[in-house]
Amino acid sequence: MNNADLIVATLKAAGITHGFGIPSGNVLPLMEAMRKADLHFVLTAHEGSASFAADVMGRMTGRPGFCIATLGPGATNLATGVGSAYLDRTPMIALTCTLNTNQLGRRIQMWVDHHTLFKPITKASFRLEKGTVAATLKRAIEIALSEPQGPVHLDLPEDVALAPATEEMARSFRGTRVATLPDEAALATAARLIAAAKHPIAIVGSSAMRMADSDLLRRFVEKHQIPFASTTMAKGLIDEDHPLALGCIERARRQLQRNFLRRADLIVGLGYDTIEVEYEAWIGAVPLLTVDIERADVDSSVKVAGELIGDLDRLLERLIALPPAKSVWTPAEVAEHRKTFQSSLRPDVKAFGPHHAIDIVRRLLPRDGILAFDVGAHTHQIASQWTAHAPRTFLITNGWSSMGFGIPAAIAAKLAAPSRPVVAIIGDGCFQMTCGELATIERLALALPIVVLNDRSLSLIDVKQVRRQFGHYGVDVNGQTKASPPAHYFGVPVAAADTPRNFEAAVERALAATGPTVVEVAVDPKHYLETVYD
């Protein structure tokens, strides 16, 4: 066994099943170890896609996602998805294979200081060295799994990879959770605030995605009859069909949501990570009770009335044990707001708009189906409009918020949950960024529909230009000629649609297919002006 074999065996012991990346000569020793040990190497079209896929694999499995790149440009490309895992707080091992140890630091082809590159976007960055490979790898995995979770970068010189292994392999890994015992004085304050509130509202955030038992969230809001909303990434942690559900905040029709939230006399932030959106953007003068793994990062204008910091599962258990709150919200008030909010997202337009397409996909995808989507105007529409029924069925990056996430996320979700239907919805700008990954999907023979909302523009930027009274400039994705889509991209068949009827038929066929399909639908983006920033 050489050190590359030791690394791969350790990663498998940690529950890692796939590594995403692009090879080079320096990567080959690790790839050979992966081949021999049957740790699947997934060749992507771009290293950024590899790290996005690793991010989502980490979210889906709870084990570190794994991505691989060569030195220099491979490492810089990989950094985009590593940054996503850092801000969205996903466990990841990002491994760069580099020069021999005696060449590091020289002015030599492709070399840059990987540790300086990855330091701002990882929890830690280590060089693997002879004699300490096993210990460093164990430490890296446990750091990635410790709260707040995130990526760890490892740099593997080729001579270290090929050297004989001299250490025992680590076989158990334990990330550290935050302190499980809440401060009793803080708990008493929280109890008093909840008991006194007449119109409390809970906001579920992305830290709650990593709870051991997310059903505690549902039990809390039901025990105290507190209406709840969620941030974009937290959708589905409580079924949004729940009668207490208010929908997503700070996406489409945000002002309507803000106005309702400011009717509250207490906001309870449940695992609310301000990396998605800062409290001061929407909370107004309403007092805040924050329940999270760490202190809330707030502006001085936010009235923090109480803070519970610790393990979210233990904190929710204690709050559920309190006497029921005296919330006076009526079911009719909550239902009426939800109806008004959802209706406002679907303006009465004659053209086939993105909201029509999104509703069709939601209706056809089973409740346990998984949606991955990308960043743009459609993100706002989907986040507010889509009904999510379960955890880990609604995949987006909102902390990092990078275009190019959608297709790699769908690939990883399908590999992690092969028996469940997965759909990607992306804009035409995002499709141009990552269409090469269709070759990856075709090679893997994944039954995966990719819905492309073709509005011929970077519509989110177009909306911002209009709102700021700037000229329309630099946002046209396609040329003036409205050419029909090709028969296939990289061997993946394409179905073109431009009406609700033929789009629905195309999506039905794509969901029933045994391989991938691109459904390219022409949509009119005009209603984004009405919904995205209103």
Using one digit for the tens of pLDDT, what is the confidence trace for 238-262?
A: 999 999 999 999 999 999 999 999 9
Break the chain down into helix, strand, coil percent, rounded to 5: 40, 20, 40
Helices vs strands, H then E, count in the chain: 20, 19
Per the rule left: phi > 0, alpha: psi between -120 and 50, beta: everything else, 324 is beta
Alpha carbon distance 62, 90 (integer Å) = 8
Residue 63 sits in the same domain as residue 129: yes
Considering its fold, how many domains does the chain have in total?
3
Residue 380 sits in the same domain as residue 454: yes
Alpha carbon distance 2, 160 (integer Å) = 9
Residue 284 sits in the same domain as residue 226: yes
Residue that finishes a domain, picked among 310, 333, 356: 333
Residue 315 sits in the same domain as residue 351: no
Helix (H, G, I), strand (E, B) or coil at 401: coil
- Per-residue model confidence (pLDDT) at position 123: 98
177 belongs to a structural domain: no
Question: Sign (positive/negative) of CA torsion 98, 100, 104, 106?
Answer: negative
Residue 204 sits in the same domain as residue 301: yes
Residue 214 sits in the same domain as residue 133: no
- Per-residue model confidence (pLDDT) at position 181: 73
Is pLDDT above 60 for 90?
Answer: yes
Residue 32 sits in the same domain as residue 142: yes
Q: Are 321 and 417 in contact (CB under 8 A)?
A: no
Helix (H, G, I), strand (E, B) or coil at 520: strand
- Which residues make Cβ contacts (< 8 Å) with residue 415, sequence separation at least 6? 18, 42, 57, 444, 446
The amino acid at residue 522 is: A
- Per-residue model confidence (pLDDT) at position 482: 65
> Based on the number of CB atoms within 10 Å of its own CB, is 176 exposed (0-12), middle (13-18) or buried (19 or more)?
exposed
- Per-residue model confidence (pLDDT) at position 180: 72
The number of beta carbons lying within 10 Å of the beta carbon of residue 23 is: 16
Q: Are 111 and 103 in contact (CB under 8 A)?
A: yes
Mean pLDDT, to the nearest integer, of 443-463? 91
Residue 100 sits in the same domain as residue 197: no
340 belongs to a structural domain: no
Alpha carbon distance 104, 115 (integer Å) = 12
Residue that finishes a domain, picked among 307, 333, 359: 333
Residue that finishes a domain, picked among 291, 313, 333: 333
User: How far, CA to CA in Å, does 31 sit from each of 23, 36, 107, 278?
Assistant: 8, 9, 27, 42
Higher pLDDT, 482 or 38: 38
Alpha carbon distance 378, 188 (integer Å) = 43
Q: What tokens does 439 get?
A: 């070759």
Mean pLDDT, to the nearest integer, of 112-122? 96
Residue 388 sits in the same domain as residue 426: yes
Grade residue 372 by pLDDT with cuts at 50, 70 and 90. Answer: very high
Residue 97 sits in the same domain as residue 194: no
What is the CATH number for 9?
A: 3.40.50.970
pLDDT tens digit sequence for 478-520: 765 566 788 899 999 999 999 999 999 999 999 999 999 999 9
172 belongs to a structural domain: no
Q: Show the domain range for 324.
A: 184-333
- Per-residue model confidence (pLDDT) at position 533: 67
253 belongs to a structural domain: yes
503 belongs to a structural domain: yes
Residue 433 sits in the same domain as residue 492: yes
- Per-residue model confidence (pLDDT) at position 136: 98
pTM equals 0.95
169 belongs to a structural domain: no
Is pLDDT above 90 for 532?
Answer: no
Phi, psi dihedral angles at 429 (to 5 degrees): -65, -45
Alpha carbon distance 382, 240 (integer Å) = 14
- Per-residue model confidence (pLDDT) at position 483: 67
Alpha carbon distance 158, 25 (integer Å) = 9
Alpha carbon distance 500, 4 (integer Å) = 52
Residue 402 sits in the same domain as residue 483: yes
